[in-house]
Structure 1
Amino acid sequence: MTLRVSRSLLAIKSYINYVRHHNTAYCTTEIGKEKAEEKDLQNFNGKNKKVRYRFDEVKMSDGMFTLRGWAVPNNKMDNIIFQLYDEKKCLMEVSTTQVKRPDVGLFVFEDRNADNFGFILQFSMEKNKIFYLQIIEADKDGKEKNRYTVPLNRKDLARRARWEYSSIFKTYTYLKTNGVRRTVTKIVRKVLRMDMVNYQRWFERNKPGKAELAHQRQVKFSYRPKMSIIVPVYNTPLNFLNEMIQSVQQQTYSNWELCLANGSGNNKELNAVLKQYADADARIKFVVLEENKGISGNTNEALKLATGDFIALLDHDDLLAPNAMFECVKVLNRNPEVDVLYSDEDKVDMDGKRHFEPNFKPDFNIDLLCSVNYICHLFVVKKTLVDQFGGFTSKYDGAQDYDFIFRSIELSNKIYHIPKVLYHWRAHMDSTAENPESKLYAFKAGVTAIEDHYKRVGINGTVEMGPYYGMYRSHFKLPYHPLVSVIIPNKDHTDDLDKCIQSLMRTTYDNFEIIVVENNSDQKKTFDYYKKIEKENEKVTVVYWEHEFNYSAINNFGVSYANGEYLLLLNNDTEVINEDVFEEMLGYAMREDVGIVGARLYYEDDTVQHAGVIVGIGGVAGHVFAGAQANEPCYMGRSLCAQDYSAVTAACLMVRKEIFEEVDGLTEEFAVAFNDIDFCLKVRKLGKLVVYNPAAELHHYESKSRGYEDTEEKIQRFNGEIQKFQKRWKKFLLEGDPYYNPNLSLNCNNFSVDMTKGGIFGRKG
């Protein structure tokens, strides 16, 4: 370990030196500031007390700049005002939108309610001009208390926009703001996988305190099911065994039984410990097996001891949270129809002290389950269901719990997810949690478990191991090859349109037609291209929309010409990457339970543009994992896993035409934005799934035809559509996206833990 740390520190030192010496021309916190200007600005700066601020994002389009970031006054009760001046110190127009940033308030003032520090600034800048952004601190009555000036110039802003997602830029900014020592610490944590400090702090703040646990012990439920906790034991280290049993004994709900089957043979010391616990607590039962029957056989022996109403699975070296059974029974009292429950989980180190890698799960997600065993722990199922399918099967040893979960959910759709960390998975070198290579056989057994699940539910599918251990990719055989109508709205940009069409022609699927919906093109060459492509390609038909731009109406118009059983809504600035994209999307779309299928989209630089949509991010909806590298698994591998979401982008969206018509197509009130999210939610209300399939890959060059929402008129329309969406889907937004865990932040798109949850200094009691 010492050698690794030393080498890592040398690498870090070299990296910081590189950042210092190679990036100063590009990135400064005060964009465009030059030494020669500082003296000249002293009078213009007012009281000249520095304001804490940051530009998180810079975008540029047609001379219009958008700055997103935050600025914090020295007193949290004060306000921040922005003013923009030109070189002659004349006031210029700047559009300011306030954005709530509870994360900033929490870490600056330790007050998550002090959240009015985020901003979006939009303004235009001429070339070769210097501008001055003034950040003004004012009290609640508007009286100015401090004024700080940030010089800006167009060239440096444009350069900053291009470097926005550079890791070097981020490191330099962090270095400049926080100093070498903190930067080294941050990088060391990442290099040595020690960057879970934030989660440990979150865990301490959100776990139930002594007072809460005492209260739970006094609760009298009207329904008190017996919870049978099943544990197969095999040569368990005694310290782990003791901690596991004690975690059960510490449950605040008392009507449980612990059923242990020891397959260790003549391990006298271990048997003595089990007997000691059983003698002291009548709720603890154990059996010593004459031979090791394997993980499935041993677990079945433990199951034979169970007399409870529900079965809960626990590994012999893991830990239950003290409120685990209480939370399950609380759900069962409120929802007596529930047959299956599962909770969130995290990992715990060898000492059982440090918690890390939380798995904050979505509500039940069948396609994610077929991509990775995201349910895993804690899993609780009604015993009558287990009696029906007969427990565990040795065929799946290593993935026996995966198969057990599949068999349970096949018999009941009354499944409840508890979004609380109720299970702590021990991570030591022999455990799958820490060392996946230690149990490769388990991942191969997972392939069999998924394929057999498909057979039992009547899906013709095969499975292969995915790009990372524990991840799987499914392939579905199409029962037939339906006609697919590809709908492509277009305005000029014939080079992009032709690239899109030619990429479709390179695919391996033949039964499709292309309907180009012309809308408001200006260039003669566009119409010449239409004549040429229709003449050369019998699959292409051009239809003409002769009204103002309305994305929803244009697509609805195009669909009225479609002959296909399935529709593929496709942007003209996309390009197919994998040749089997139709088969990949149809494989899911042709399932009876699926309504919509979306694809994995990349920017031109091969970073992720779309990997699913979470409703509620940023107050409306947002693409998850945008900007991630193509092969980056992201949070719990979800970027690379097929799964169900509440919505996907209509830049590439497949839907059965019958379903499209049943929900009356795209809602034309949403002329530009959120029409695809609204459409997906309408289809979800039919009880159909919206599936994201990462194996369907395209480039998306994004908004080339129309440009960005960067004029005053466009911004007003965009804000109006936000309000319409929030009003139309108010209940959904309040309840939260079922495919996004409530413990995750809605202020970013990378599934970060919401650090504003829980008390600042932890719960007392």
Structure 2
Amino acid sequence: MADPSLTRALDPAKAQRLLAAACDNIRGLENNACVLENELLQSRVEARQLNATLDSSPLVALSKLITRLRIKVLPPGSGPHSFVRWVIGRSRRLRMPPYPDPYPVWIARHEPQAFAQLQAPSNAAPCIYFLLTGHGSALQASLKSVLAQTDPNWRLLLTVAAPYPFEDARIQTVEAPAHASAAAVWNKALESAPDGYVAILRPGDHLAPGAVSALRGTLEKEPRIGMIYSDEDAIDGVGRRCDPLFKPDWSPETFRAMDYMGNLTAFHLPLVREIGGFRPEFGEAAVYDLALRASEKTASIRHSPLVLYHSQKASVRQRGYGLDGSRAVQEHLDRLQLAGEVAAESTQGLRQIRYRVGLPLVSIVIPSKDQPRLLERCVESLLAGDYPSQEIVLVDTGSVTPEAREVNARLALRPGVRLLHWDQPFNYSAVNNFAVRQARGDVLTFLNDDTEVISPDWLERMLEYALQPNVGAVGAKLLYSNETIQHAGIVLGLKNIICGHLLQRAPDSAAAGHPLAVARNVSAVTGACLMMRRSVFDEVGGFEEQFAGDFNDVDLCLKVRQSGYQVIWTPHARLFHHECQTRGKISIVNGTRHTLFVLERLLFLDRWGAVVGRGDPFYNPNLNQDEADGTVRR
């Protein structure tokens, strides 16, 4: 018999009344939106009048002069500039009281629930082998954490100087030569592991009680996984957990720059044997080298966003491994036939890779309307760059002021600059697609007219990634005029918004020693500065012209990723973004702009709602989901 409540819910008359009420609410919201839009328009008019008054002020003129002198004397990114910013930041930190640590709150609020939701794996799930070397109290602490596992399906291969019997049959001792390297000892221990997965447990470090259960549960669902890794944290001198490492899902470019996978990476034993096991000649980087080689043989690499490993605080972080780590990455690049060289490692354990590029023609597409000062500053900064093979394609989308027309005509006379005219209603996607059809380059760069180049080699640094066959789109680091971060990649699936900019408005100096100091995989980059090969642009169908004002860049990047390409953000191409002029050209009349945004938002969610709903693979779910500031979720 049907549920009576369902019968009532399907009553046509009631449904009609509900629909009518919903339509009335929508009309009311649209009217309110129109009122707000008109108020906003009036506020913008008043703001422009105020800006014009301020621009004529002697104090503002003096301030601009001081800013220009400061940039000339201390160019952004230079050694003196970095030193001055470090001194200022250090002095501020000394004056400010420390913020309370949010991590203990996160542990109490989220971790019990996360572990409670785990389903116990069956006995058919693969066994986890742990390799442990050491002696004394450090070894005992690690051993205790293994014995405390809630899932009994583990084995411990304990390498010792002399065999020692244990009552627990799951613990097997392996005699190790006195002066053998850790990698050689691990290889010998692996002879006793017939099948399953193997992970390194370093003496003194602890496993979370549910570590084995969490790993085996994932491996039972996906038996073809080649590597799986988890989040981790540290334990300080008084036994408190601190310094969490909330990691992204598999990010190959990020991994080359830093060993973010770190501790508790479990490898499928047949894969380990296939690639020759641990290589002793790589010293402390032997596990990192193994992971790099394994990543070349398997595409099935999984991340468990649970804190399953607790390191000693003295040993945690900055796993750069010096020359051994750089050599491991260099051999990895050579095996993949990627023409690149590993640059010197920084003091934070991060490394740069310089990929070799030729001189393909790069077409830089810049739509603009009635922004002569911004446009001229942008173009002049482009012409002052280092890259010799570029064409600048300006698209005038309907300038009406004499100054704008005069500047456009003057810029069109500069070598390497062309001027196109768009005489239809503004549509960001259609304008760029139109310009691409006129452009000559094999590489396309979409640029806002309110940007200004900081690093003269920015095009080359973006080309290093754009020319790689498995990369589809590349973005740059964009800074506001006050040198805070405007763009460091786009994060999907935040609460209340579809996507947001990572670490927006944080000081640029905050990226020092941070993952944002290296090139990294992201879900999307902003169209304010986006580079891609023409072949990829054509393959994915260019910009979707249904997105006239918003979401067009994210849609393009998601199409790129859907086609199997990576999207890369690099901090080594740096520009100012005096946001936001290029996209302000769709007229705001009777709420048109608001209505267009709502429609495009609905269209985007209809197309990509499932992708957005899964969250961003490159932004850990344990981080703040209200905004992409990289802080611990509360």
- TM-score relative to the length of structure 2: 0.81
SS in 2 for 1:405: helix
**Separation of aligned partners in 2, 1:288 and 1:311:** 18
**Does 1:572 find its partner at 2:458?**
no
Q: Which amino acid aligns with 2:437?
A: S
1:211 Cα shift?
A: 10
Structure 1 residues 627 and 125 mapped into 2: Cα distance closer, same or farther (>3 Å)? closer
Equivalent in the alignment of 1:671: 548
**Separation of aligned partners in 2, 1:201 and 1:633:** 25
Residue by residue, what CA displacement relative to the aligned partner does 1:477-498 show, whole Å, maximum 9, x if unpaired?
A: 11x3211111110112222222
State whether residues 398 and 443 of structure 1, in contact with CA within 8 Å, keep that contact through their aligned partners in structure 2: no
**Does 1:507 find its partner at 2:393?**
no
**Separation of aligned partners in 2, 1:369 and 1:191:** 35
**Separation of aligned partners in 1, 2:408 and 2:573:** 28
SS in 2 for 1:327: helix
Alignment of 1:434-449 (within 5 A): 442-449=321-328
Alignment of 1:178-577 (within 5 A): 195-196=100-101, 198-208=102-112, 212=116, 219=120, 221=122, 223-233=124-134, 236=135, 238-262=136-160, 275=164, 278-351=165-238, 353-428=239-314, 431-433=315-317, 442-465=321-344, 467-478=346-357, 480-537=358-415, 539-577=416-454
**Does 1:749 find its partner at 2:628?**
yes
**Separation of aligned partners in 2, 1:515 and 1:588:** 22
**Separation of aligned partners in 1, 2:285 and 2:96:** 31
1:652 Cα shift?
A: 0.7
State whether residues 228 and 307 of structure 1, in contact with CA within 8 Å, keep that contact through their aligned partners in structure 2: no
Q: Which amino acid aligns with 2:152?
A: S
Count of matched residue positions in the alignment of Structure 1 and Structure 2: 556
State whether residues 623 and 631 of structure 2, in contact with CA within 8 Å, keep that contact through their aligned partners in structure 1: yes
**Separation of aligned partners in 2, 1:628 and 1:710:** 32
SS in 1 for 2:424: coil
SS in 2 for 1:397: helix
SS in 1 for 2:343: strand
Select the residue among 497, 517, 529 that pairs with 1:652.
Answer: 529
Select the residue among 490, 509, 517 that pairs with 1:631.
Answer: 509
State whether residues 493 and 614 of structure 2, in contact with CA within 8 Å, keep that contact through their aligned partners in structure 1: no
State whether residues 709 and 715 of structure 1, in contact with CA within 8 Å, keep that contact through their aligned partners in structure 2: no
State whether residues 369 and 585 of structure 2, in contact with CA within 8 Å, keep that contact through their aligned partners in structure 1: no
1:297 Cα shift?
A: 2.7
**Separation of aligned partners in 2, 1:125 and 1:523:** 19
1:373 Cα shift?
A: 0.8
Select the residue among 476, 498, 508 that pairs with 1:620.
Answer: 498
Query: Structure 1, unaligned stretches of length 5 or more?
Result: 1-91, 97-119, 129-154, 156-186, 266-270, 756-765
**Separation of aligned partners in 1, 2:614 and 2:113:** 26
Alignment of 1:56-135 (within 5 A): 95=36, 124=43
State whether residues 478 and 576 of structure 2, in contact with CA within 8 Å, keep that contact through their aligned partners in structure 1: yes
**Separation of aligned partners in 2, 1:543 and 1:620:** 33
Structure 1 residues 125 and 448 mapped into 2: Cα distance closer, same or farther (>3 Å)? closer
Structure 1 residues 246 and 190 mapped into 2: Cα distance closer, same or farther (>3 Å)? farther
State whether residues 251 and 323 of structure 1, in contact with CA within 8 Å, keep that contact through their aligned partners in structure 2: yes
1:308 Cα shift?
A: 3.5
State whether residues 93 and 123 of structure 1, in contact with CA within 8 Å, keep that contact through their aligned partners in structure 2: no
1:306 Cα shift?
A: 2.7
Structure 1 residues 93 and 501 mapped into 2: Cα distance closer, same or farther (>3 Å)? closer
1:716 Cα shift?
A: 3.4
Structure 1 residues 371 and 485 mapped into 2: Cα distance closer, same or farther (>3 Å)? same
**Separation of aligned partners in 1, 2:528 and 2:292:** 33
**Separation of aligned partners in 2, 1:344 and 1:708:** 44
SS in 1 for 2:199: strand
SS in 2 for 1:472: coil
State whether residues 311 and 382 of structure 1, in contact with CA within 8 Å, keep that contact through their aligned partners in structure 2: yes
**Separation of aligned partners in 2, 1:347 and 1:355:** 6
**Separation of aligned partners in 1, 2:405 and 2:306:** 58
Select the residue among 579, 597, 606 that pairs with 1:727.
Answer: 606
State whether residues 326 and 345 of structure 2, in contact with CA within 8 Å, keep that contact through their aligned partners in structure 1: no
State whether residues 142 and 204 of structure 2, in contact with CA within 8 Å, keep that contact through their aligned partners in structure 1: yes
Identity within the alignment, %: 33
1:644 Cα shift?
A: 0.9
Select the residue among 587, 593, 597 that pairs with 1:714.
Answer: 593
Residue by residue, what CA displacement relative to the aligned partner does 1:259-291 show, whole Å, maximum 9, x if unpaired?
A: 1223xx6xxxxx6xx83xx42211112234332
**Separation of aligned partners in 2, 1:259 and 1:695:** 44
Residue by residue, what CA displacement relative to the aligned partner does 1:316-373 show, whole Å, maximum 9, x if unpaired?
A: 111111111111111122112212111111112234x311222111111001101111
Structure 1 residues 710 and 249 mapped into 2: Cα distance closer, same or farther (>3 Å)? farther
**Does 1:697 find its partner at 2:584?**
no
**Separation of aligned partners in 2, 1:631 and 1:395:** 36
- TM-score relative to the length of structure 1: 0.68
Equivalent in the alignment of 2:466: 589
Structure 1 residues 225 and 594 mapped into 2: Cα distance closer, same or farther (>3 Å)? same
State whether residues 232 and 302 of structure 1, in contact with CA within 8 Å, keep that contact through their aligned partners in structure 2: no
**Separation of aligned partners in 2, 1:125 and 1:511:** 40
Q: Which moved more, 1:652-661 or 1:279-288?
A: 279-288
More helix by share: 2
Q: CA-atom RMSD, angstroms?
A: 3.1
State whether residues 517 and 554 of structure 1, in contact with CA within 8 Å, keep that contact through their aligned partners in structure 2: yes
1:573 Cα shift?
A: 1.2
1:208 Cα shift?
A: 4.2
Structure 1 residues 250 and 123 mapped into 2: Cα distance closer, same or farther (>3 Å)? farther
**Separation of aligned partners in 1, 2:109 and 2:276:** 41
Structure 1 residues 190 and 312 mapped into 2: Cα distance closer, same or farther (>3 Å)? farther
State whether residues 234 and 316 of structure 2, in contact with CA within 8 Å, keep that contact through their aligned partners in structure 1: no
Structure 1 residues 309 and 457 mapped into 2: Cα distance closer, same or farther (>3 Å)? same
Q: Which moved more, 1:617-626 or 1:563-572?
A: 617-626
Residue by residue, what CA displacement relative to the aligned partner does 1:416-448 show, whole Å, maximum 9, x if unpaired?
A: 1111111111113xx244xx5xx88x2332211
State whether residues 189 and 195 of structure 1, in contact with CA within 8 Å, keep that contact through their aligned partners in structure 2: no
**Separation of aligned partners in 2, 1:94 and 1:205:** 42
1:124 Cα shift?
A: 4.1
Q: Which moved more, 1:690-699 or 1:708-717?
A: 708-717
1:536 Cα shift?
A: 3.1
Residue by residue, what CA displacement relative to the aligned partner does 1:470-516 show, whole Å, maximum 9, x if unpaired?
A: 111110011x3211111110112222222222222222221111111
Residue by residue, what CA displacement relative to the aligned partner does 1:613-670 show, whole Å, maximum 9, x if unpaired?
A: 0012242111101112222128x82322211111000111001111112222111111
1:720 Cα shift?
A: 3.0
**Separation of aligned partners in 2, 1:592 and 1:625:** 29
Equivalent in the alignment of 2:518: 641
SS in 1 for 2:306: strand
Equivalent in the alignment of 1:150: none
Residue by residue, what CA displacement relative to the aligned partner does 1:42-69 show, whole Å, maximum 9, x if unpaired?
A: xxxxxxxxxxxxxxxxxxxxxxxxxxxx
State whether residues 292 and 298 of structure 1, in contact with CA within 8 Å, keep that contact through their aligned partners in structure 2: no
1:524 Cα shift?
A: 1.9
1:94 Cα shift?
A: 7.3
State whether residues 231 and 302 of structure 1, in contact with CA within 8 Å, keep that contact through their aligned partners in structure 2: no
